[in-house]
């Protein structure tokens, strides 16, 4: 398991231990604080074969299956996030198949293509150079890929200049942060430098975070904040 999925596994464990359950969504929330469009950007989903990449607690997959009669593979690579989805909806949620797998492994299985693929806040953690080629043959011709990614993160860090996942901090309530950073030295940062912090230990005070802060121009106007972080 890579540093990204290890962080999400720790995150899921944290919330399993506290039985944290975010509310049932009334619509898709593509933006970070309930901003952005809703379900309509996915088009007509009735009877469509749909893939949710990085489905987390499964609440958006359950919402779409319940309100749009979609048939959804909800895939998450973190065992504890997957467990949260099963604890919440069970194995028998109509229209939803909860699958524990790294999305790249899932896509490399030879199955019939999807009509619609979506990812809410998860694509930014996955290497696009691996994901997009794996995804292409799994979307039927004329099918749709809909996703939202972090533009400006909760630290105020603006968009990267390169197309690649970047380390992000995952907040554990008031008890600190986890980093999705790859192990030290294994991969260059978007800026071409190399991470010098311990894996999984990033926080606002880490050398890694301080270095990023120094290297990046901060602009309040690039922030899409529309309310308090969820």
Closest approach of Cβ 120 to ligand SAM, in Å? Answer: 4
> 155 with 149: CB under 8 angstroms?
no
Q: Closer to ligand SAM at the Cβ: 55 or 197?
A: 55
Beta strands, E only, the chain: 49-53, 71-76, 96-100, 114-120, 139-148, 169-171, 177-179
Closest approach of Cβ 151 to ligand SAM, in Å? Answer: 14
Work out whether strand 169-171 and strand 177-179 pair parallel, antiparallel, or are unpaired: antiparallel
Closest approach of Cβ 215 to ligand SAM, in Å? Answer: 24
Q: Closer to ligand SAM at the Cβ: 79 or 211?
A: 79
Work out whether strand 71-76 and strand 96-100 pair parallel, antiparallel, or are unpaired: parallel
Give the binding site for ligand SAM (CB under 6 A).
4-5, 8, 54-57, 60, 75-78, 81, 102-103, 120-122, 125-126
Q: Closer to ligand SAM at the Cβ: 61 or 212?
A: 61
Whole-number Å distance between alpha carbons of 99 and 84: 12
Q: And the tokens for 181? A: 């950073």
Closest approach of Cβ 123 to ligand SAM, in Å? Answer: 9
Work out whether strand 169-171 and strand 139-148 pair parallel, antiparallel, or are unpaired: unpaired
Q: Closer to ligand SAM at the Cβ: 57 or 192?
A: 57
- 137 class by beta-carbon count within 10 Å (0-12 exposed, 13-18 middle, 19+ buried): exposed
Closest approach of Cβ 103 to ligand SAM, in Å? Answer: 4
Q: Closer to ligand SAM at the Cβ: 116 or 126?
A: 126
Q: What are phi and psi of 167, to 5 degrees?
A: -60, 135
Q: Closer to ligand SAM at the Cβ: 54 or 167?
A: 54
Closest by alpha carbon to 151, among 121, 114, 108?
Answer: 121
Closest approach of Cβ 100 to ligand SAM, in Å? Answer: 9
């Amino acid at each position: 398991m890579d540093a990204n999925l290890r962080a999400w596994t720790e995150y899921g464990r944290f919330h399993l231990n506290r039985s944290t359950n975010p509310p049932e969504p009334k619509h898709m929330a593509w933006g970070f604080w309930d901003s952005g469009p809703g379900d309509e950007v996915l088009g007509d989903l009735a009877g469509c074969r749909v893939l949710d990449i990085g489905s987390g607690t499964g609440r958006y997959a359950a919402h779409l299956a319940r309100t749009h009669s979609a048939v959804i593979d909800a895939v998450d690579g973190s065992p504890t996030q997957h467990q949260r989805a099963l604890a919440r909806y069970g194995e028998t949620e109509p229209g939803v198949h909860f699958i524990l797998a790294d999305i790249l492994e899932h896509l490399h299985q030879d199955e019939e293509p999807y009509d619609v693929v979506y990812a809410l806040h998860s694509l930014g953690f996955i290497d696009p150079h691996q994901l997009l080629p794996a995804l292409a043959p799994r979307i039927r011709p004329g099918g749709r890929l809909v996703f939202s990614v972090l533009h400006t993160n909760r630290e105020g860090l603006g968009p990267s200049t390169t197309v690649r996942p970047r380390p992000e901090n995952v907040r554990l309530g008031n008890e600190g942060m986890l980093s999705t950073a790859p192990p030290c030295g294994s991969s260059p940062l978007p800026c071409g430098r190399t991470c010098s912090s311990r894996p999984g230990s990033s926080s606002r005070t880490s050398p890694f975070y301080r270095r990023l802060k120094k290297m990046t121009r901060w602009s309040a106007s690039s922030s899409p904040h529309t309310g308090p972080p969820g």
